[in-house]
Amino acid sequence: MAASEFMYLIISKHHYNYLMKTTATKTLPERYTLARTLDLRQTRNLILVNLFGLILLIASWIGYAGLANLIHPGSMNFSFSSGNIGEALLSLFTLVIVIVVMLVVHEGFHGLCFWIFTKTRPLFAFKGFYAYAAAPDWFLPKGQYLITGMAPLVGITVICVSLMFVLPVWWMSPLVWMLVLNTSGACGDLWMVYWLLRSPANVLARDKGDVLEFYTPEKQQ
């Protein structure tokens, strides 16, 4: 075998291995098998994730409301009386709008990442009380799925916190609610990312929406 042919084989194999780690694929590589399944449809998992979400809700409210009061003192002080029912209804309506916007933007971040990495339209769906974006026909490498999982939490947090410094005081409540709901709503994402980080570097993830599957080579199971 000529030296040039030998080098070509080495480079080709290295290039293939690199692509295996960095490129999404619709075909599960040889010797890869199912290593772990995270199923949000299971009652135990659903309870644990929701409890985690409740903790995030309380912690993020304390943190972001405190930040808003630092930027605009008194902006997050609330009071209720029979004389301000109209204001309370307006706040409730605003909260509903924030929830809808948060869901769309949150899943939009996931969907955008899936689209960038797979070059195909992701699946968007509502099931029960939650929405999700998924790419059920694709296997994503660790780095790509990590970005996909964390994108809504990081992206929305950066945007909303930045806006808190430039928008007037009456924007503080919607922005805080957006931050709080997005952070607590990311409980499932964080749960999946936790297990992803504990997986081997060459793990492949298939996201079906409410079920996440991890695939690894047989020798690493």
pLDDT per residue, tens digit, the chain (221 aa), is 444 443 344 344 444 454 445 689 999 998 999 999 999 889 999 899 999 999 999 999 999 999 999 999 987 776 555 557 777 788 888 899 999 999 999 999 999 999 999 999 998 887 766 678 899 999 999 999 999 999 999 999 999 999 999 999 999 999 999 999 999 999 999 999 999 999 999 999 999 988 999 999 986 44
Burial label for 180, CB within 10 Å (0-12, 13-18, 19+), is: buried
What is the pLDDT, as a whole number, of residue 117?
96
Residues 6+ apart with CB under 8 A from 18: none
What is the pLDDT, as a whole number, of residue 129?
60
What is the pLDDT, as a whole number, of residue 13?
47
Q: Buried b / exposed e across 94-115, counting CB within 10 Å, b at 16+?
A: eeeebeeebbebbbbbbbbbbe
What is the pLDDT, as a whole number, of residue 79?
54
Q: Are 145 and 151 in contact (CB under 8 A)?
A: no
Q: What is the pTM of this model?
A: 0.82
